[in-house]
Amino acid sequence: MSKENFFIGSIDQGTSSTRFVIYDKSAKQIGFHQVEFTQFYPEAGWVEHDPVEILESVKVCIAKAVDKATADGFNVDKGLKAIGLTNQRETTLLWSKSTGVPLHNAIVWMDARTASICRRLEKELSGGRTHFVESCGLPISTYFSALKLLWLMENVDPVKEAIKKGDALFGTIDTWLIWNLTGGVKGGLHVTDVSNASRTMLMNLKTLDWDASTLKTLKIPPEILPKIISNSEVIGNVASGWPVAGIPISGCLGDQHAAMLGQACRKGEAKSTYGTGAFILLNTGEEIVQSKHGLLSTVAFKLGPKAPTNYALEGSVAIAGAAVQWLRDSLGLISSAKDIEALALTVDCTGGVYFVPAFNGLFAPWWRDDARGVCIGITRYTSKAHIARAVLESICFQVKDVIDSMHKDSGIDETKKSDFLLRVDGGATANNLLMQIQADLLATPVVRPADIETTALGAAYAAGLAIGVWKEDYVFDCREKLKDAGVFSPVMAADVRKKKTDSWSKAVGRSFDLADLTL
């Protein structure tokens, strides 16, 4: 006999892996499968994904998760009511409307190949780097989709030809997946949601539509762009040929916005997601706050076509968990990512070593695409354990830089910082040492939920809200969610914290202006 007959599925398409998670009506996981996919590095500073491989990873994850849940006695075939989708943001691709074939590999959010385009636009446009900030909340940076789209339009002949013929479709990963899930060349829906659109540099934050002036300035044809929708509404049904054919897709958010929803962040509350990068968002309610300290203004979420829009201040850290992967894959200092905690715990400090993982530049609050990774303070005493601990500290220092900027932008004075707590999620938060270092450097509590995969949960919530499975009061009621949370309280002495923070700032400064001029 089946255990329940009401489930919500969640596609979580990240930078290094894809997952499909199945939740019951109490938002508990009852099925899960994850697949890693290939990272391509064609040149220094370039990062690409194969869109077809990503599509196949989604199909495999759905099938395997359904099989696992069914084997455990859950009647998913009859009980799956809706699917939510969350995805790596800013990653950009174009494909043929007539054939469905990608016109180039997807250019990943952390890719730095557009640096020369950024410099060109900064010189040509009034206001330089901040020319588009008033409309979209974002500075000119290699990070955002519009610059990647320009590079493809200027450098890839199949893209030029397809646009000329009216056969090109642009999208971020959510758009590519939904188009294929809903039929592809046989009537696939060409849409994106407000959170992903807010990361392209092309959407007006006030109107929640493509900004005509920006499109004209950048010479981007509007006909290649998808329709913008809310985060929680029935988009369309999954087409035949997929393991969950006929099921409605009713939620879509960029991964960091999904994590905000999964963490139930109301106005004034912040979360940090630790994955390939680290992403810290502070919900500013229905107000668009323009940062004066290096942060981004963005959409938090819009839970329905007629629902109010919540906005956020965001600080994005390009390299967090990716630094641990680098220790594993490039240096061979550890055999698996989880080994870094045990190695770092063999020493009680970094021995004066500071590591700045500016592999592709630095994002918030520095915005220096000329920065490159540095490791300083090395002596004969330095061991691989000190370097491992310095890598963990580097993740936490970068998050602290963003949180400090958020305090300044939101007007929190020193006396009120003690009331602040940081909600955390993502795979790296399983590392207890990392979480304790974070609490120590912030001098505020760090709260880790029992379910650290809040990105997938947020997408499930959005899908469930759209079809009436859950109400907003249930989603945002944190008392039950925090009951089993882990809390890390700071224990570091204030003078030690200040000395370490000052040294970190010096190390960051030494990473500037190191990029190869050929990039």
User: Per the domain annotation, does 111 fall within a domain?
Assistant: yes
The pLDDT of residue 403: 93
pLDDT > 70: percent of the chain? 96
The pLDDT of residue 316: 87
Per residue in 226-263, pLDDT (tens digit) is: 999 999 999 999 999 999 999 999 999 999 999 999 98
User: Per the domain annotation, does 316 fall within a domain?
Assistant: no
Task: Calculate mean pLDDT across residues 139-150.
Answer: 94
Q: What letter does residue 275 receive in the DSSP assignment?
A: S
Residue in the block written with tokens 């220092």: 397
The amino acid that residue 323 corresponds to is A
Helix (H) or strand (E) holding 302: strand 296-302
Among 193, 174, 178, smallest CA distance to 238 is for 178
User: Per the domain annotation, does 482 fall within a domain?
Assistant: no
Hey, CA dihedral for 346, 348, 353, 354, is it positive or negative?
Answer: positive
Which pair of structure tokens corresponds to residue 246? 């006929």
Beta strand residue intervals within 351-448, DSSP E: 354-356, 374-376, 422-425, 446-448
| Rg of the chain on CA atoms, in Å | 22
The pLDDT of residue 519: 42
Which pair of structure tokens corresponds to residue 146? 């519009």
CA separation for the pair 196, 302 (Å, rounded):
12
Per residue in 401-414, pLDDT (tens digit) is: 999 999 888 766 55
Per residue in 305-321, pLDDT (tens digit) is: 999 999 999 998 989 99
Work out the angle at residue 158's Cα, subtended by the Cα atoms of residues 107 and 105, and round it to the nearest 5 degrees.
Answer: 25
The pLDDT of residue 364: 85
User: Per the domain annotation, does 211 fall within a domain?
Assistant: yes
Which pair of structure tokens corresponds to residue 87? 């995805």
Q: Is the pLDDT of residue 134 over 60?
A: yes
Among 116, 320, 109, 287, smallest CA distance to 201 is for 109
125: CATH? 3.30.420.40
Q: Is the pLDDT of residue 322 over 80?
A: yes
Work out the angle at residue 70's Cα, subtended by the Cα atoms of residues 174 and 67, and round it to the nearest 5 degrees.
Answer: 55
Strand partners, 487: 447
Task: Report the mean per-residue pLDDT for the chain.
Answer: 91
Q: Is the pLDDT of residue 355 over 50?
A: yes
**By the 8 A CB rule, do 206 and 299 touch?**
no
Per residue in 42-98, pLDDT (tens digit) is: 998 899 999 999 999 999 999 999 999 998 888 888 899 999 999 999 999 999 999
Q: Is the pLDDT of residue 483 over 90?
A: no
Q: What is the DSSP string of 70-102?
A: HHTT--HHHHEEEEEEEE-SS-EEEEETTT--B
The residue ranking higher by pLDDT, 426 or 372, is: 372
User: Per the domain annotation, does 16 fall within a domain?
Assistant: yes
User: Per the domain annotation, does 235 fall within a domain?
Assistant: yes
- How many domains does the chain contain in total? 1
Helix (H) or strand (E) holding 410: helix 384-410
The residue ranking higher by pLDDT, 486 or 148, is: 148
User: Per the domain annotation, does 113 fall within a domain?
Assistant: yes
Helices marked H in 453-493: 454-466, 472-475, 478-482
Pick the range with the lowest mean pLDDT from 5-9, 13-17, 204-208, 514-518.
514-518
The pLDDT of residue 290: 87
Q: Is the pLDDT of residue 20 over 90?
A: yes
- Position 298 confidence tier, pLDDT thresholds 50, 70, 90: very high
Task: Calculate mean pLDDT across residues 507-516.
Answer: 90
Q: What letter does residue 362 receive in the DSSP assignment?
A: B
CA separation for the pair 452, 471 (Å, rounded):
22
Helix (H) or strand (E) holding 450: none
- Position 214 confidence tier, pLDDT thresholds 50, 70, 90: very high
Pick the range with the lowest mean pLDDT from 260-269, 392-401, 418-427.
418-427
Residue in the block written with tokens 């963005």: 298
- Position 418 confidence tier, pLDDT thresholds 50, 70, 90: low
Q: Is the pLDDT of residue 486 over 90?
A: no
The pLDDT of residue 44: 85
CA separation for the pair 446, 271 (Å, rounded):
10
User: Per the domain annotation, does 420 fall within a domain?
Assistant: no
The residue ranking higher by pLDDT, 177 or 336, is: 177
The pLDDT of residue 417: 53
Q: Is the pLDDT of residue 29 over 70?
A: yes
Q: Is the pLDDT of residue 100 over 60?
A: yes
The pLDDT of residue 2: 46
Which pair of structure tokens corresponds to residue 58? 């989604």
Q: Provide the residue range defining the domain that includes 221.
A: 7-256
